[in-house]
Amino acid sequence: MADFKQNYFQKRTKDRGPRSNNRIFSPDVQVIASDGENLGVMNTNEAILMAKNQGLDLIEIAANANPPVCKIMDMGKFKYDAQKKANIAKKKQKIVSLKEIKMRPVTETHDYDFKVKNAKKFIAKGDKVKFTVRFKGRELQHSHLGKELMDKIKEDMKDIGKVELHPKFDGKQMIMVIQPL
């Protein structure tokens, strides 16, 4: 009973990376040599023996092909190169964040200029900017003021950004999203 519990509760680890050597289950594989030469289809055991004689591993490159494509190479070098490619891809990706700038329909000109200047900085960095005009109380009856404010923002931002989401009401606030050109 103790043996059952130990096996049952053991942590099951997920296989990471491509299969190599004795973990390749296909009886025949398409083999590519370490120098890139195509050696053709051969028995998996022969291919593993050939790789061992060279001091290398047989690594499954294309598992879904028929027969699977395997390459003779060093497993450590293969994993290192894959990790390096992943790191380069991660560095190159740009994460676009959404910055929000909140205003009121009665925002004064100095505050407006300050907020638009900050929005231009955000867009220059490559971020999107969400403008929110919040209405309180009876201001909601004068929604044309919010529309005029949004039009003014559009006009001021047209040289560095374009409107992604046109002004629309969302409850008691009007929103608009501007993205970089």
- Shared domain for 124 and 65, answered yes or no, is no
Is 53 in the same domain as 114? no
Classify residue 3: in a domain, yes or no. Answer: no
- Tell me, yes or no, whether 176 and 147 share the same domain: yes
CB-based contacts of 155-162 (< 8 A; 24+ apart in sequence): 156/116, 157/116, 157/119, 157/120, 157/123, 160/120, 160/123, 160/124, 161/123, 161/129
Residue 155: both structure tokens together: 């006009």
**Number of neighbouring beta carbons within 10 Å of residue 140:** 14
pLDDT along the chain (181 residues), means of 10: 56 70 87 88 90 90 87 89 90 85 92 94 92 91 90 91 90 92 84
Say whether both 106 and 41 belong to one domain: no
Q: What are phi and psi of 19, to 5 degrees?
A: -75, 150
Within this chain, do residues 30 and 103 fall inside the same structural domain, yes or no?
no
Same domain, 112 and 61: no
Q: Please indicate, yes or no, if residue 57 is contained in any of the structural domains.
A: yes
Indicate the number of domains in the chain. Answer: 2
Q: Does the residue 102 lie in any domain?
A: yes
* Helix boundaries (H) for the chain: 2-8, 44-53, 75-92, 109-125, 143-157
- Residues 153, 133 contacting (CB under 8 angstroms): no
The CATH number covering residue 63 comes to 3.10.20.80
Residues 104 and 160 placed together within one structural domain of the fold: yes
Which pLDDT belongs to residue 143? 87
| 109 and 148 share one domain | yes
Domain co-membership, 34 together with 76? yes
Same domain, 172 and 131: yes
Query: Phi and psi for 90 in degrees, rounded to 5?
Result: -65, -40
Has residue 89 been placed in a domain? no
Residue 70 and residue 30 in contact, taking contact as beta carbons nearer than 8 Å: yes
Q: Is residue 7 part of a domain?
A: no
Structural domain span for residue 24: 17-80
| Judgement on whether residues 54 and 125 belong to the same structural domain of the protein | no
Final residue belonging to a domain, choices 80, 107, 128: 80
CA dist list (Å): 158 to 91, 114, 140, 163: 30, 17, 27, 8
- Please give the pLDDT value at position 91: 86
pLDDT at 12: 62
Contact of 170 with 134, CB cutoff 8 Å: no
